[in-house]
Amino acid sequence: MATDGGPGRVAGWALVVAGFTYATWVLGLWLNPGVDARSGYVSSYAATDQPHRAVFVFGDCATGVLVVLAVLLVALARSGVWNALATVGWLGLGLFGAGTVADSVLTLQCTPYTDATCALLERSGHVSLGHQLHAVTSSLAVTGACVSLLAMALAWRRRWIWALAVLELLAVAASLAAMLAGDWMGAAQRVQVGVLSAWLVALGAVVLAARPLPAATVPGEHPLRDGLHVVDEGSGDPTVMLVGGLGEAWFDWDAVAGLLGTRVVRFDRPGLGLSQPAPGPVALLDEADRIAEVCPGRVVVVAHSLGGFFAEAFARRYPERVVGLVLVDPSCEPSVTRRARWWSLLLRPAPPVTSLLAAGLAPALGPWARGRAVRSQTAAGVATGSPEQVRAVFGSARVLGTAVKELLSYRDVAADLLALRATTAFPPVPVVVLTALGDVADPAEAAAWRDGHAALAALLGGRQEVLADARHMLQVDQPELVVAAVREVS
């Protein structure tokens, strides 16, 4: 196992501490001696009718929170691909943590194995909802712990993990048997939670001892410029700047770049591809300025989808820098207003929250989802990028969070472009708008898309080319048509 420095160390210590907080039941032998250690549930120490219950509620809650935090941090500290079994193991551990937090909230009302009245109330259904649901949350926690142990044992093939996994399964089986027999339930369960405490401490030690994750080498990767991944290749005039759409990466332009035969510059916006993230929402003028900074001098700008907004803004703000403009199935919003400020503020936490929630799933599901999305937007059903590139980029929760940020910023970006149009003229340069209709099934939607692009071409003083069979990722479907448009405006 390998982790990225700081987050991995915090995760390791969180797991170690969780192992000790999960063992607070040991204090119950002295604080709550009325609970029978042989027959009473461990969770009986936190029952609402027990003294010092706050100690044990805190122990469970702290354990669950620390475990969930550790899982998220380990996921974020991984910059490569997770082994599928290890991913299942960490997700199982996350389920254990969530179930343990729920256990601390949905506590028992009384102790059924040591209190006959409580047992009668339980059998007749006259106990609190929390008491009734406690069995569900405990079962989820135990299931997650067992899945974690078994998956990690299979993934890492360490004998001591196998030993803990076997011991835990035997303890769970013994607990179920004791539950049916009506005796020795407490003893079996204490072995069960004791094994889990040892597992958390041992796993934390493994994370702390993990070697630093080496810097990943990705085919086509170039050095970062102030945190921005810029690919500057070839020579000749004019220079062509390629601007991607929502969530896209530099390699989505490979087919076009290979046919141009001139200097080609492409880059990943902050948080996308291999670029480092930037704080705050996506802003139209910031992205227009970024294009200007990445490639000084006069350029032909080729932009896809959402990138069309940024390319047009660049042309309006830097008219002397633009040779021509090619908009590849661009986003088009003839009438839109900005969101209310309170709504934008409310949505601002969504991208980082998405990154955290997706941390464990992105390495396994991100590349798969990306492949399906690209294939659905290309007539040939092909994917872009090598498997290594796709895993490095779309296996990252950072990229998913940034894509969500771009999506949530879309309306404001479109509205800001309308405002810019009202105040800043478009330069007299050649423009081609390429319209793809192959993936617009509804005739009314296809007509609206075609007409919107026609109006855009007229507004910019350019021409429109309609491609009835091409799909949205036209630069992948028919790169030669994009190249022909570039030569037309050069």
Mean pLDDT of 414-425: 96
Which alpha helices (H) appear in 336-386, and where do they start and end? 341-347, 350-358, 362-376
Tens of pLDDT, residue by residue over 334-386, are 888 887 777 767 666 766 666 655 655 677 678 888 888 888 888 777 778 88
Q: How far apart are CA 398 and CA 392, in angstroms?
A: 11
Virtual torsion, Cα 60, 64, 70, 75, nearest 10 deg: 160
The candidate with the shortest Cα–Cα distance to 305, out of 284, 336, 328, is 328
DSSP E strands, 331-486: 431-436, 463-467
**Helix-strand-coil split of the chain, %, nearest 5:** 60, 10, 30
Q: Which residues pair with 190 in a beta bridge?
A: none
Confidence of residue 81 (pLDDT cuts 50, 70, 90): very low
pLDDT at 252: 94
The whole-number average pLDDT for the span 115-136 is 79
Contact 396, 360 (CB under 8 A): no
Q: Convert 99-139 into a string of H (helix), E (strand) and C (coil).
A: HHHHHHHCCCCCCCCCCHHHHHHHHHCCCCHHHHHHHHHHH
Q: What is the mean pLDDT of residues 267-289?
A: 92
What is the distance, to the nearest Å, from the Cα of residue 459 to the centroid of all Cα atoms in its chain? 38
Cα 224 to Cα 21, 239, 253, 295, distances in angstroms: 43, 20, 18, 14
Tokens 């035969």 belong to residue:
261
147-151, 185-189, 458-462 — which is least confidently predicted? 185-189
pLDDT at 461 over 90: yes
Q: Which CATH superfamily is domain 224-489 in?
A: Alpha/Beta hydrolase fold, catalytic domain (3.40.50.1820)
Higher pLDDT, residue 459 or 122: 459
The owner of tokens 């996308």 is: 272
User: 78-92, 163-177, 358-372: which range is least confident on average?
Assistant: 78-92
Query: What is the chain's mean pLDDT, rounded?
Result: 86
* Whether the predicted pLDDT of 201 surpasses 90: yes
Q: Which of 37-51, 136-150, 198-212 has the highest mean pLDDT?
A: 136-150
**Quick one: residue 214, left, alpha or beta (phi over 0 = left, psi -120 to 50 = alpha)?**
beta
Out of 133-147, 257-271, 350-364, 377-391, least confident range: 350-364
CA-only gyration radius of the chain, Å: 29
pLDDT at 79: 41
Q: State pTM to two decimals.
A: 0.65
pLDDT computed for residue 462 by the predictor? 96
DSSP 154-208: HHH--HHHHHHHHHHHHHHHHHHHHHHHTSSHHHHHHHHHHHHHHHHHHHHHHHH
Q: What pLDDT is attached to residue 82?
A: 54
pLDDT confidence of residue 130 = 77
* Percent of the chain topping pLDDT 90: 45
Domain ranges for the chain, please list them: 2-212, 224-489
Cα dihedral 296, 300, 305, 306, rounded to 10, equals 30
